[in-house]
Amino acid sequence: MSLRLRTALAAALFLAFGALPAVAAEFTDSAGRIVVLPERVNRVMAAGPTAEVLIYVLAPDKLVGWTRPFQRGALPARYARIPVVGQLTGQFPTATPATVSRLHPDLIIDCGVITPERMAFADQISQATGVPYIMLDNDFDRTPSMLRIVGRVLGVANRGDDLAGSAEHAINALRGRLLIQPATERPLVYYARGRTGLETGLPGSGAAASIEAAGALNVAAPLGAGDRVRVTPQQLRDWNPNLIIAQDRSVYQSILRDPVWRNVAAVRNKKVFLEPSEPFGWIDQPSGVNRLIGLYWLSQLFYPGDSQDDLRSLMQDFYDKFYGIKLSDAQIEAIAKTAGIPPSDTPHLAALPPIEAPVPIPGVPGAVNEPGRRGFVPSAPPMTTPSYNMPK
């Protein structure tokens, strides 16, 4: 059986049946690999940044280490103290099998594109360390299923179902509304990545998925599908995007000032915006569940007259629900200033008095539901697919 067919069948099983194991202690991952899991998963290592966000939003106390350092104040204090241990995957891996052995995780989780090389690497790490290693396809459409399934693996099924409901709302409701826009009325968008802004994501890449899902046209589409690519100033002038999103603050400032960009429509019309990036990016860095809030933001940038959502309140609710971060109005204003987020007449949650005591979420230390207040999006309905049953 070819890898493509094997991966497709595994993905179908993953979506339809929640990666239901053949026997109690087996898990079929997105690559079709059968992995034997321990009875209880208390310590989890992220192979890379995408898996890191997934573990953090579901069960932060089970994360054994961050893949990279964060800016001071970007994370709640209790999680900022988690050590930086590096990443196993990526172009420049900083962790090794020796790192895994030192940390003693019960499980390694990897999220990304399934390739023969990644599968071989996962098997190699697992064989060298004795730690089970599961691979998950991080395609945007599979985000809700991934939250539900990994929530069960980590023993936080209720938390996984709740966040999956939020993901479904963001993906289905917003994209369903925006993709009816005629192609002639969609904005031409350039996503300026890297230190110079002359790197961008091609259609089909994780870096471009949010832009495509929010109903815009990626100006780099003529270069074909793929991952990331470097472009020239002349290509930018030829494409003439009417909206530019910069990933890096220095690039954002350079685009506004450098004569190289001056004749591009987005610069002339002051349609250049900075992607919010702390603690995780809204479009990329990484290509994980952190992109969900980006859908709401991008939809307002692309179609400002079509949405009635109060983006500032949505942002505050999302950070609270997914990251356990309570943004102040000053923090929201700092993000909004360069991200093109319009003012709001709605009182922010930080300015409202508490209504009643929070209720702890079972299995997630430190996480709470807050009755009597509007959440980020509705919770998920009860599961109708088979659940993952860990051995007793």
Residues 6+ apart with CB under 8 A from 277: 247, 285
* 11, 308, 369 from 361: Cα distances, Å: 30, 30, 6
- Write out pLDDT tens, residues 236-276: 999 999 999 999 999 999 999 998 898 999 999 999 999 99
| Burial degree of 376 (CB within 10 A; 0-12, 13-18, 19+) | buried
For 137, residues 6+ apart whose C-beta sits below 8 A from its C-beta are 7, 11, 14, 30, 111, 112, 113, 114, 146
DSSP 338-384: HHTPPP--SPPGGGSPP-S--EEPTT-TT-EE-TTS--SSPPPPPP-
In percent, the amount of the chain with pLDDT more than 70 equals 78
Average pLDDT in the chain: 82
Return the exposure string of 8-29: e unless at least 16 CB atoms fall within 10 Å of the residue's CB, then b.
eebbebbbeebbbbeeeeebbb
Quote the pLDDT of residue 162.
96
Three-state DSSP at 84 gives strand
Q: What pLDDT sits at residue 343?
A: 81
Per the model's pLDDT, the better-predicted residue between 118 and 343 turns out to be: 118
Q: Count the residues in the chain.
A: 392
For the record, the structure tokens of 34 come out as 């059968």
The pLDDT of residue 175: 63
183-307, which class in CATH? alpha beta
Assign 274 to helix, strand or coil.
Answer: strand
Statement: residue 290 has pLDDT above 90? yes
CATH classification of 3-172 is 3.40.50.720, yes or no? Answer: no
Residue 15 binned pLDDT confidence (cut-offs 50, 70, 90):
very low
CA distance 225 to 202: 5
Identify which of 230, 119, 214 has the alpha carbon closest to the alpha carbon of residue 171. 214
Q: Do the domains 3-172 and 183-307 sit in the same CATH topology, yes or no?
A: yes
pLDDT band at 109 (very low <50, low <70, confident <90, very high): very high
Q: What are phi and psi of 146, to 5 degrees?
A: -65, -40
pLDDT of 353 over the 70 cut: no
The enclosing H or E element of 228 equals: strand 228-230
Q: What is the mean pLDDT of residues 31-53?
A: 95
* Closest listed residue to residue 53, CA positions, set 210, 205, 163: 163
Confidence at residue 190, expressed as pLDDT on a 0 to 100 scale:
95
* Tokens coding 15: 């979506």
Give the integer Cα–Cα distance in Å for 202 and 258. Answer: 24
Return the domain boundaries, the chain. Answer: 3-172, 183-307
Higher pLDDT, 386 or 294: 294
Q: Residue 46 half-sphere exposure, CB side, CA atoms within 13 Å?
A: 33
- Those residues with Cβ within 8 angstroms of residue 151's Cβ, 6 or more apart along the chain or in another chain: 58, 157, 158, 159, 160, 161, 163, 164
Strand partners, 111: 136
Put simply, whether the predicted model's pTM sits higher than 0.75 gets the answer yes
184: how many CB neighbours lie within 10 A of its CB?
6
309 by DSSP, 3-state: which?
coil
pLDDT attached to residue 236: 92
Q: How confident is the model at residue 307 (pLDDT cuts 50, 70, 90)?
A: low
Element (H, E) at 133: strand 133-137
pLDDT in tens, 195-204: 899 999 888 8
**Average pLDDT in the 284-300 region?**
91
pLDDT score recorded for residue 211: 86
Give the residue-averaged pLDDT of 327-332.
Answer: 92
- Between these two residues, 92 and 273, which has the higher pLDDT value? 273
Per-residue pLDDT, averaged over 51-73, amounts to 95
Q: Pick the residue with more confidence: 170 or 48? A: 48
Residue type, 152: R
Instruction: State residue 346's pLDDT score.
Output: 55
Give the pLDDT mean for 69-84.
Answer: 93
Average pLDDT over residues 8-20: 45
pLDDT value for 179: 59
Residue ranges in 62-186 assigned as alpha helix (H): 77-80, 97-103, 116-129, 143-153, 157-168, 174-178
Q: What is the pLDDT of residue 23?
A: 35
Tokens of 114: 């399934």
Percent of the chain at pLDDT > 90 equals 58
pLDDT of 2 reads 52
